[in-house]
Amino acid sequence: MTATTVSAATDATGSADPACCEPLPVLGRDVTVPLVTGSDVTYAALDYAASAPALQRVWDDVAAYAPYYGSVHRGAGYLSQLSTDLFEQSRATVAEFLGCRPADQVVFTRSTTDSLNLLAAALPAGTRVFVFETEHHAALLPWQRATDAEVVCLAAPHTPEEAVAALDVALHGAPKGPKLVCVTGASNVTGELWPVRELAAAAHRHGARIVLDAAQLVPHQAVDISELDVDWVAFSGHKLYAPFGSGVLAGRADWLREAEPYLAGGGATRTVVRRADGQVETEWHTTVARHEAGSPNVIGAYAIASACRALTEAGFDRLEARERQLLKVLRDGLAAIPEVRVLSLFGEDSARVGVLSFVVRGWNSSHLAAALSAEYGIGVRDGLFCAHPLVRRLLGTDTEDLGACGSPDPGAGFNGNAVRVSFGAGTPVEDISRFVAALTTLVREGAAWTYATEAGRCVPVAPGA
């Protein structure tokens, strides 16, 4: 089984030179898409925050393994044994990638959402969960369904320091009992970095635990559980250049070991016995198997492990430096368009990863995203980004009216949703420049085609007059 090698460009001293480094090879880089004009153009994928394209390295690794696919933890045959070893080696790779402590567990799930729902199901009775209203729905909502848990929703802070202070005050006033803090590492709306280490310190000062939603952080920066001193980390493979329906919950074992299994079924059980009274008596595993019932997604787990290796070998220092360059090109371009307002919680100078949302005065955001796709072959995201309270807070509106999908009204304000541009290790700088040029043309000259709302989406319907 072989895989392609991803290596950083180097200067004469052998050190990585971010200015000359090419993007990492990803699938779909040369895919062409049709435009409304009838021509084709190479697709510019700028929606990494939703699902990043698979690294070529990951695809090659999975393709090399596919002929050897077998049942995990279920068979004595060679392919089953090979698959089992590969699955458990993938778990060890992820643990190393995250800097897990010796007693930590790595549970494979379906996604970040699944991971946080798993943790919510494992909360001890009477747990108080502290979460900012700024969270993605995957981190905001699972606790509402937790049995016998109380959720304390904290208002959006205006600075990282305010976030730490607000959490400190909330925890100080909380009654005794188990407490959990859930916080993002990087916002899926603004890309802004949160003060995770400081929040963890505040949590631990008051006897609380903390789980880090790293879905938008782990593709962009190294995440080390020990260094950040968080209790759990959750993330998704499809954000980490391994889009195969797998995720991770890594961290402390005790709450997971003591909780009822997340799913009841084969693989989670030690023994199942039918008693004389006809009832079934079950003894559950106390290891990670307790929450991995059913046949596991071995390809998904292996894809995540492959992505972890590829990013580690490429070097996060190099990847971060390159991403800062792309961010500068993007932000300089947007700053040159007066009608654009970039959304920010902590201020325009706050550190962020390659995620940025904005609105354009007079434009319906869905209309703008549709025109970028139909007329320029550029894929971005529009909407509320599964973070409705945060986007509405940033826009200063609670309206459900997203505005009409039609000709821009220069005199109008901003409508009730936004456009998001997101990129990463596989994005060439040309895609960012191309986006800025297309946006500039649309704002200055308008769309070339007429657009209307059909089945809830803004779509081109006819050439403009």
Q: What residues are annotated to the active site?
A: 386
Tokens representing residue 203 in the block: 């949590």
Residue 389 and residue 15: Cα distance in Å, rounded? Answer: 44
Number of Cβ atoms within 10 Å of the Cβ of 53: 24
Instruction: Provide the 8-state DSSP code for 325.
Output: H
Structure tokens at 35: 């435009």
Strand, coil or helix: 272: strand
Q: Which string of DSSP letters, residue by residue, matches 169-227?
A: HHHHTSPSS-EEEEEESB-TTT-BBP-HHHHHHHHHHTT-EEEEE-TTTTTTS---HHH
Residues 6+ apart with CB under 8 A from 44: 376, 377, 378, 379, 431, 434, 435
Over the range 269-282, which residues count as b (16 or more CB within 10 Å of their CB) and which as e? beeeeeeeeeeeee
Q: Give residue for tokens 């649309």.
A: 442
CA–CA–CA angle 166, 349, 442 (5° rounding): 120
